[in-house]
Amino acid sequence: MGTALITGATSGLGEEFAWQLAARKHDLVLVARRENALHNLAERLHAIAGIRAEVLVADLSTPEGCAAVARRIDAPATTHTPPIGLLVNNAGFGLGKPFPDNDLEAEIKGLDVMVRAVMILSHHAAQTMRARGRGAILNVASVASRTGAGTYSAHKAWVVAFTEGLSEELRGTGVTATAVCPGPVRTAFFENAGVDMDRIPSPLIADAEEVVSETLDALRLGKVLVTPTPVYKAAMAAMKLMPRSLLRKVMRSMPHL
C-alpha cells in the first residue's frame, strides 16, 4: 500500500491508524487542523517506528483545505512526495444536538467534513490510484449509518452507500474501497460533541486499538464493509432485521450524536 494519507490524524482513531500503519512500515501523510499536534505526532512516529511522516495542515470544512489535500494526492511521484497508496478518510465529529436546535453553520460544517471532503478526496484518489493500477480507499463510517438518528447518522449512511458503489465502480482496477462502521470507541469524539460517555455502558465501548486492527485486517483482504468487534457485528445484524419504527423508538433513549 506504500504511503498512507490519514485525515483526522491528531487524535482517536486517526492517530491509532497512524501508529498501526507505521508499525507495518508505511510512510504517512498526516492531515488535520492542529499543526503542533501533527508535528509532535510526526516526530514521535519517526523516532519510534522509523517511518517518514509528512504534515499537512488542512481544515477539511473549507474548499482550500480540501484542495490542499487533493493536490498532495495528485502530486507527481518524487522522493519528497511518494504516491499515496492508501487514503483513510477518517476526520469527523459528532454534532451533539438535534438538527432543529443546532446552528445551521455547524450542520453544514459536519456535512462538509464528513461528506463533501470524503467525496472530493476519494475522487482524486480513485483517479490517481486507478491510473497506477493499485491502491485502497478506507472511509470511516459508523454503526450510526443504520440508526436514522440525525444528520451525523445521515452523513455516515452516505459514506456507506458511497463506498459500496465506489468499490463496484473500481472492480478490476487494482483499487479497493472499504467502509468501516465502528460502534462507540474511547476517543475524544464524545467529549468534543458534548455527549456524556458515561451514558454508554462501558462494555459497549471499544478501544481504538482493536477497532483499527480489525479494520486494517479487513482492508488487506479487500473487504467492502467491516463492522469491528463482535458486539457491534451483532448489533448491525439486529438493526437490519428490526422494523425501522422500532429502531427509531430505541434511538430515542440514546445520546444524540
Ligand X SMILES: NC(=O)c1ccc[n+]([C@@H]2O[C@H](COP(=O)([O-])OP(=O)(O)OC[C@H]3O[C@@H](n4cnc5c(N)ncnc54)[C@H](OP(=O)(O)O)[C@@H]3O)[C@@H](O)[C@H]2O)c1
Residues near ligand X (CB under 6 A) are: 7-14, 32-34, 37, 59-61, 90-93, 113, 140, 142, 182, 184-185, 187-189, 192
Residue type, 244: R
Q: In what order do the strands lie in the sheet with 53-57?
A: 53-57, 28-32, 3-7, 84-89, 135-140, 175-180, 225-226
Q: Which is nearer to ligand X, 12 or 96 (CB)?
A: 12
**Shortest distance in whole angstroms from residue 131 CB to ligand X:** 26
User: Cα separation of 235 and 230, whole Å?
Assistant: 9
Comparing C-alpha atoms, which of 151, 118, 107, 106 is closest to residue 7?
A: 118
Nearest to 4 by CA among 74, 17, 16, 170: 17
Pick 150 or 184: Cβ nearer ligand X:
184
Q: In the numeric block, which cell numbers belong to residue 151?
A: 444528520
Smaller CB separation from ligand X, 15 or 27: 15
**How many other β-carbons are positioned within 10 Å of the β-carbon of residue 176?**
22
Nearer to ligand X, 19 or 130 (CB): 19
Question: In angstroms, what is the minimal distance from the CB of 87 to ligand X?
Answer: 14
Question: What are the grid coordinates assigned to 153, written together?
Answer: 447518522
Output the smallest distance, CB 78 to ligand X, in A: 25
Q: Are 133 and 81 in contact (CB under 8 A)?
A: no
In angstroms, what is the minimal distance from the CB of 117 to ligand X?
Answer: 7
Q: Which of 17, 93, 152, 190 is catalytic?
A: 152
Question: Residues near 243 by Cβ (< 8 Å), separated by ≥ 6?
Answer: none
Question: Which one, 138 or 185, has the nearer CB to ligand X?
Answer: 185
For residue 236, the tally of other CB atoms under 10 A from its CB is 16
- Residue 152 annotated to the active site: yes
Shortest distance (Å) from residue 241 CB to ligand X: 21
CB 187 within 8 A of CB 193: no
Residues labelled catalytic = 152
